[in-house]
Amino acid sequence: MYEFSKAFESPRESPIRALFKHLGQPGMISLAGGYPDPALYDVAGLQEAADRAGRDSRACLDYGATDGTPRMKAAVVRLMAERGCETSPPHVIVTTGSQQAFDLVARVFLNPGDRVLVEQPTYPANIQTLRACQARIGSVRTDKDGLDVDALEETLARARADGALPKLIYTIPTFSNPSGATMTLERRLRLLELAVRHRCLIVEDDPYGGLRFSGEPVPSLLSLTSRVAGSSAWVVHLASLSKIVAPGLRVAWAVAPAEIIHRCQVAKQAADLGSSPWTQGIAAEYLASGRLAAHLRRICAVYADKCRALAAGLRSSLGDAIRFDEPAGGMFIWARLSGGLSADDLLAQAIPRNVMFVPGAGFQVEHPDASTLRLSFATPSLEDLAEASRRLGEALHATQSNRPPSSRP
């Protein structure tokens, strides 16, 4: 009936949101969302921060600057310095979640038909952003060490020869959603070199970097720009308080060359005039309180236990039928079913048994692998993770016995 824009003529739902309708099923244990455990929110610390922020009612109830309140921008600059990245307010824009930050960057760079590369697999809401920009989306494979830079190098060389270089490469190099993988230092340095050689913007999405529970930290691409000549012009870094403090604040930011930030600011005027000064005030006070470090130690310890519990449960209940690498941080286990089983078929048996996860196909823009799935260990309790694994084991047996004999391995 309506003449919608091309990008929204037949919009595709996020594969995660599409599962929301089952969440209300009594007794459901969801391994589907990428949500922090609400029991871990530092409610007392945030309440104190809100009380302090509220004392300056003008600052928190008025419209704020489009690029973020000066106090929040200063807090971001300090936090980024603690993460090994020297930056300054003109290089920072505060956004309504890092989802908005990616949307702004995509809008200021992409015309319909422009090419972009994403990781295979990648975060689906940002695939939606790229589709809304009518970009042509290609993908590069990843493994347990993140983006396969050899494959990227080949893809870029071919694209260069065809006069079809991508304008932008989107990566989640640390504890990726969905793969949980972290790109090695060597690959990061090579990625920066490739960005300089091909004049291609790298968007580094880093909402999970603070959630390391084992192994040694790997520096962000942004912090490594000091080691690769010319690369600081080609990196946009996105970060967020959603996974490390609370997603309800909707406070996140981008760090980028000032020319890019300026254009994102103009795009943000059109999007929402500015993010809420009230939640920025709470966030800035919270960061100034110095509670974040202890909070992170606490939540990482809990997520470590949860990750181990889910990994152990999956191994004991599904055995050889499932394969995965245990992540060193973040919220996700990315797994592959063996023996030709499909994650959709397993999900169809899992939902009536009150457990759910996200099939992996929605995280892949090309040649989706139907055997893949994403399981989040962040929200359920340890007991629920064990029970979820047991139910998945039952669902697996039902899936295997439902298959026609000819398709069994």
Ligand X SMILES: Cc1ncc(COP(=O)(O)O)c(C=O)c1O
Q: How far apart are alpha carbons 22 and 259 in whole angstroms?
A: 44
The least CB distance from residue 315 to ligand X, in Å, is 25
Complex with ligand X: residue 49 or 378, whichever CB lies closer: 378
Burial 321-355 (b: 16+ CB within 10 A, else e): bbebeebbbbbbbbbebeeebbbebbbebbbebbb
Complex with ligand X: residue 137 or 252, whichever CB lies closer: 252
Complex with ligand X: residue 125 or 382, whichever CB lies closer: 125
Task: Answer whether 257's CB lies under 8 Å from 93's CB.
Answer: no
Complex with ligand X: residue 204 or 345, whichever CB lies closer: 204
DSSP character for 242? T
Q: How far apart are alpha carbons 1 and 390 in whole angstroms?
A: 48
Complex with ligand X: residue 168 or 228, whichever CB lies closer: 168
The least CB distance from residue 269 to ligand X, in Å, is 19
Tell me whether the omega of the peptide bond preceding residue 121 falls within 30 degrees of 0, making it cis: yes
Task: Answer whether 63's CB lies under 8 Å from 200's CB.
Answer: no
Q: How far apart are alpha carbons 106 and 168 in whole angstroms?
A: 9
The least CB distance from residue 240 to ligand X, in Å, is 3
Complex with ligand X: residue 175 or 345, whichever CB lies closer: 175
Q: How far apart are alpha carbons 105 and 176 in whole angstroms?
A: 20
The least CB distance from residue 47 to ligand X, in Å, is 21
Q: How far apart are the first and last CA of the chain?
A: 49
The least CB distance from residue 106 to ligand X, in Å, is 13
**Strands 136-143 and 235-240: what pairing?**
unpaired
Residue 1 has a CB neighbour count (10 Å cut-off) of 3
Task: Report the residue closest to ligand X, judged by CB.
Answer: 97
Query: Which residue matches tokens 């690029």?
Result: 67
The least CB distance from residue 200 to ligand X, in Å, is 20
The least CB distance from residue 205 to ligand X, in Å, is 5
Complex with ligand X: residue 128 or 342, whichever CB lies closer: 128
The least CB distance from residue 340 to ligand X, in Å, is 29
Q: Which residues bind ligand X (CB under 6 A)?
A: 34, 97-99, 123, 172, 177, 205, 207, 240, 242, 247, 252
Complex with ligand X: residue 155 or 240, whichever CB lies closer: 240
Residue 68 has a CB neighbour count (10 Å cut-off) of 26
Find the helix or strand (DSSP H, E) in which 159 lies: helix 149-161
User: What angle is formed at CA 157 by the lines to CA 154 and CA 159, rounded to 5 degrees?
Assistant: 105
* Residue ranges in 355-403 assigned as alpha helix (H): 382-402
The least CB distance from residue 164 to ligand X, in Å, is 26
